Amino acid sequence: MTYENCTLCPRRCGVNRRAGERGFCGCPDQALAAKTMIHRWEEPVLAGAGGSGAIFFGGCTLGCRYCQNRAISGGPVGTPMDSEALRRAMEELIAQGAENIDLVTPTHFLPTIVPALKPRLPVPVVYNCGGYERVETLAELEGLVDIYLPDWKYGDKGLARALSGAEDYPEIARTAIREMVRQTGPVRWEGEKITRGVVIRHLVLPGQVENSLKVLDEIGETFAPGQVLVSLMRQYTPMPGMEPPFDRTVTQAEYEAVLSWMYLNRLEGFTQEAEAAETGFIPDF
* Radius of gyration, alpha carbons of the chain: 18
**Residue 259 parent element (H or E):** helix 252-264
Does 61 score more than 90 pLDDT?
Answer: yes
Q: Where does the chain have alpha helices with state H?
A: 44-47, 70-73, 83-95, 110-116, 135-138, 157-164, 169-184, 209-222, 252-264
Report yes or no on whether pTM surpasses 0.75. Answer: yes
% of the chain at pLDDT higher than 90: 86
Does 244 score more than 60 pLDDT?
Answer: yes
Domains with residue ranges and CATH for the chain: 29-281 (3.20.20.70)
Q: CB–CB of 154/131 below 8 Å? A: no
pLDDT tier at 272, thresholds 50, 70, 90: confident
**Residue 164 parent element (H or E):** helix 157-164
Mean pLDDT score, 106-129: 97
pLDDT tier at 281, thresholds 50, 70, 90: very low
Does 131 score more than 60 pLDDT?
Answer: yes
Three-state DSSP class for 148? strand
Q: CB–CB of 242/66 below 8 Å? A: yes
pLDDT tier at 252, thresholds 50, 70, 90: very high
Mean pLDDT score, 209-233: 95
List the beta strands (DSSP E) in 17-58: 31-39, 52-57
Does 178 score more than 80 pLDDT?
Answer: yes
The predicted pLDDT at position 75 comes to: 81
Q: CB–CB of 107/133 below 8 Å? A: yes
Nearest to 32 by CA among 95, 113, 133, 115: 113
Nearest to 101 by CA among 159, 61, 182, 42: 42
pLDDT tier at 69, thresholds 50, 70, 90: confident
pLDDT tier at 278, thresholds 50, 70, 90: low
User: Is pLDDT larger for residue 41 or for residue 23?
Assistant: 23
User: Dihedrals φ, ψ of 177, to 5°?
Assistant: -70, -30
